[in-house]
Amino acid sequence: MKKSDKIAEAQVILRALGLPKSQQNQISALTLLALCGLGINDAWLQAPRERRSVHGIIGFIAEKKYRVAYAENTRETIRRQVLHQLVLAGVADYNPFEPDLPTNSPRAHYAISEAALNAIRTFGTSQWEASVANFLSRRTALIEIFQRRRSKRLIPVRFPDGKLVKLSPGAHNKLQKAIVEQFASRFAGDPKLLYLGDTAKKDLYIHAEV
């Protein structure tokens, strides 16, 4: 099989799984192939579920299989414009093998979702259309389950004035929680919180009136 044929198959799969046209381009197709761990001549039925970092995805595409080189400075583009969309669509999972990793962990990774993989493995068979229909019918429920699980791992922080915010998982944010809820009130008298940043959102809270 030609490289272009395998990429075209991945684009067909992305379209069938409900990805918009902007996420059916070559880089999205190659990212899907990397998440599925498939080379040019590997059958979709053989796709494993493996963890891959953004760096690992770029390496897989460039070195091992498809010889398409993306510069390291495109990692953020792949993360935001490809992987983020795949996660939103229920096609990929973020940190499924270590769900409590902080946002900025060097061990952060992605994997093809189990639901999408069940459909993808049937590509080219008589079960394909039924598998896609099943994935699409269950996708909203699956995404909601994933979001609820993620929400349970968030770290609630209660401000001195009673305001509640939630931080992403991680040791740094656990420390921030302890400072806001315990240290400040104990050692700073009547403190006023001016700024609180999250590893996932640097400007999570800013008190504008100083």
Lowest mean pLDDT among 20-29, 81-90, 143-152, 194-203: 143-152
- Tens of pLDDT along 119-143? 999 999 999 999 999 998 887 654 4
Q: pLDDT band for position 153 (50/70/90)?
A: low
- Tens of pLDDT along 180-190? 767 766 666 66
Average pLDDT over residues 64-91: 86
Average pLDDT over residues 152-165: 72
Q: Between these two residues, 194 and 51, which has the higher pLDDT value?
A: 51
Average pLDDT over residues 57-73: 85
pLDDT of residue 142: 45
Question: Where are the domains positioned within the chain?
Answer: 3-152, 155-206
- Tens of pLDDT along 38-63? 999 999 999 999 999 999 999 999 97
pLDDT of residue 23: 87
Does the structural domain 3-152 have CATH classification 1.10.10.1820?
Answer: yes
Average pLDDT over residues 21-31: 92
DSSP string covering the chain: --HHHHHHHHHHHHHHTT--GGGSSHHHHHHHHHHTT--TT--GGG-----B-HHHHHHIIIIIIS-----GGGHHHHIIIIIHHHHHTTSEEESTTSTT--TT-TT--EEE-HHHHHHHTTTTSTTHHHHHHHHHHHHHHHHHHHHHHHHHHSEEEE-TTS-EEEE-SSHHHHHHHHIIIIIHHHHSSS----EE--SS-TTSEE----
- pLDDT over 70 percentage in the chain: 76
